[in-house]
Structure 1
């Protein structure tokens, strides 16, 4: 799978730009702040409906414009399909597939698959658990687009349940009883969506793990042992809620339970935590509290891995995602955003070989010297929101 054309209108610093794309590597060269990353961000947005740099859509719209548009022509097994996204801050975004509007923007997920590696990816190792949960969820949605609905349903129920818990908690602190008559119903909604999301994440980690270990060994060239494990509060109903962030907490390997078993575990844990949830006015059990644990030689990678090892782990996670998607269907577009300048010679050489072998790779670099020798590519220059061949 690859893009043959990309057009952006009022996206970031682009009033309008169009880019014809070929198979193989393409390099976008330009000084910082000219708009290179905005192009890979647009492609990533087509894949996930989200940005790797910002949490909201407002910064994606060019200053003074009402909306931004991303259009692409996608080639998959010689079949051509157009996709368009219209991003409007404060309103529902709109989408078209072919020439027909679609009722739900998330219906475009799966048309474009991409894997993005960027300097921000060090947060996958050094950052908070939320960074690793986001990595899993974005990959999960690309793998199985139906999980976009599961995620949004879970977050909607959690927000409504939190509102009920806050209201009840405030009432009890004021000496009143606090109405929790509907909490059992909200629990069941939370369990239904949470167990489905949890099952998807557990299956993903199970399938991603061997690709991660293989990629790390190839990148690092060392005998370091790496592993990943998904830790959920539902595994142990005796655990304290705050233990989820403790990398030294006892761990036991488990298989991937079915959704019914996960539902039962969540139900038990919710019952055990109800008093604390009312006291704190928030949901303390569910996938939003879980953690992807990354280990290096039986130690937590966060805090133990060196800077070079952290880069290798982060790169291995992205390349594992690339290999998993590649093995299961249309090969994803590989997006490399200004990363060659951050890597040493060994890691640059390895990533260069992956980039050459991919069906389509989009690379950004501040100067051409950042691109490894031998990586033959179509080069475009980016200057102040304009793209020239």
Structure 2
């Protein structure tokens, strides 16, 4: 899989960009803040419908405009598809595949698959559980695009259920002693059923992704840091103690009846936690409270791994994802956003080895010398200038085969 053409309009610092790309390695070189990362951010957005840098779409729309457009023509096994997303300020985004409108933007998921490694990935090891949940959900969606719909349905249920717990707190505490309390409890029963249904499906998708990812992460970490303690991942669920311990073991092969078992487990745990949820006014059970545990040896990586070990683990999560996605028969596009300068020689070499073998690699760097010599590349120079329309990025090149800029 590779991106043959990328077009941007009013995306971040780019008023317009029309870029032809080829398989192999492409490097965008330029000073920090001049717009090189915005190019690969757009590619990542067309793959996942999210940015690896910000949590909302608003910053992606160039200041002073109301709409940004990103479009990519993707070649996969000889077949071309063009995906396009319009990001609208204050209105719903719209998407197209080969110029045909999509009913939902998430219908484009799966056309372009990417794995992005960036400095922000250190938060996967050192950050909060939400960072790791997002990583796992994006991977699960790349493996099976229908996961996006499952995740959207589950998020909606959690919002509605938590709103009920908060707005009807008094009535819920009074319970069946009043008509209002009985009505609120009946409504909560309905939302419990929805949460169990959607939560079980999302949890099953995550557990399947962890099962497939775990050996690749362990192998990647072993190749990057052979002298370090072994690394392994494990899923931590709010259903621990309700489902058998081995159910959450990544070595366990997921089974067809898992969803039904998980639905039953959700009902048991929701019943047990009901009084506590009513008291606190929020949903305490479900995948939105889970975590992907990262272990080194006998202990957790978070809080105990050294700086080098943390970088190795973050890199292993991405390289493991890349190796897993390749098993489906098509390389994802590998995006390396300004990371070579952050890595020591061993980690640079490990990353360069994978990149040299990938079908397409998109790299950003502030300094051309940060790119390992073994990565022969087509290079573009990126710079920004101030205009009456604000700061605008421009592109020059290409320069082929690693010639000096």
Whether these two folds match at TM > 0.5 is: yes
Give the deviation of 1:82 after TM superposition.
1.1
Aligned residue number for residue 222 of structure 2: 217
2:96 equivalent in structure 1: 96
Structure 1: gaps (5+ residues): 239-248
Following TM superposition, by how much is the alpha carbon of 1:174 offset from its aligned partner in structure 2, in angstroms? 9.2
Select the residue among 185, 189, 200 that pairs with 1:195. Answer: 200
For residues 162 and 303 of structure 1, what CA distance do their matches in structure 2 show? Answer: 31
The answer on whether the counterparts of 1:19 and 1:387 sit within 8 Å (CA) in structure 2 is no
What is the count of residue pairs matched by the alignment? 380
Higher mean alpha-carbon deviation, 146-155 vs 346-355, is at: 346-355
Aligned twin of 1:242: none
Structure 1 residue 61: deviation in Å?
0.1
Matched, 1:118 2:118: yes
Structure 1 CA distance, aligned partners of 2:187 and 2:99?
45
What is the SS of the residue equivalent to 1:182?
helix
The structure-2 alpha-carbon separation of the partners of 1:298 and 1:70, relative to structure 1 and needing over 3 Å to count, comes to same
Displacement of 1:233 in angstroms is 1.4
Structure 2 unaligned regions, length at least 5? 385-392, 398-405
Cα RMSD (Å): 2.0
Partner residue of 1:307? 307
8 Å CA contact 1:74, 1:112 repeated in 2: yes
Q: 1:322 to 1:252 in 2, by over 3 A?
A: closer
Aligned to 2:325: 325
Q: What corresponds to 1:388 in structure 2?
A: 396
Q: Give CA-to-partner distance per residue, 1:130-170, whole Å, 9 cap, x none.
A: 11000000111111000110000001111111111112214
1:372 aligns to what SS in structure 2?
Answer: coil
Q: Which residue of 2 aligns with 1:158?
A: 158
Aligned counterpart in structure 2 of residue 204 of structure 1, from 202, 209, 226: 209
Q: What are the Cα deviations for residues 83-140 of structure 1, in whole angstroms up to 9, with x where unaligned?
A: 1110112211111111211111100000000000000000000000111000000111
8 Å Cα contact 1:168/1:180 also seen in 2: no
Matched, 1:232 2:237: yes
Task: Give the distance between the partners of 1:265 and 1:290, measured in 2 at CA.
Answer: 15
Q: 1:272 to 1:172 in 2, by over 3 A?
A: closer
Q: Displacement, 1:171? A: 4.0
Separation of aligned partners in 1, 2:194 and 2:52: 30
Is the Cα contact below 8 Å between 1:237 and 1:272 reproduced in 2? no
1:290 is displaced (CA, Å) by: 0.6
TM-score of the two chains, using structure 1 as the length reference: 0.94
**Residues 68-107 of structure 1 correspond to what in structure 2 (within 5 A)?**
68-107=68-107
Give the conservation status (yes or no) of the 8 Å contact 1:164–1:180: no
Deviation at 1:173, TM superposition (A): 6.9
Higher relative contact order structure (alpha carbons within 8 Å, sequence separation ≥ 6): 1
Match of 1:181 among 181, 186, 190: 186
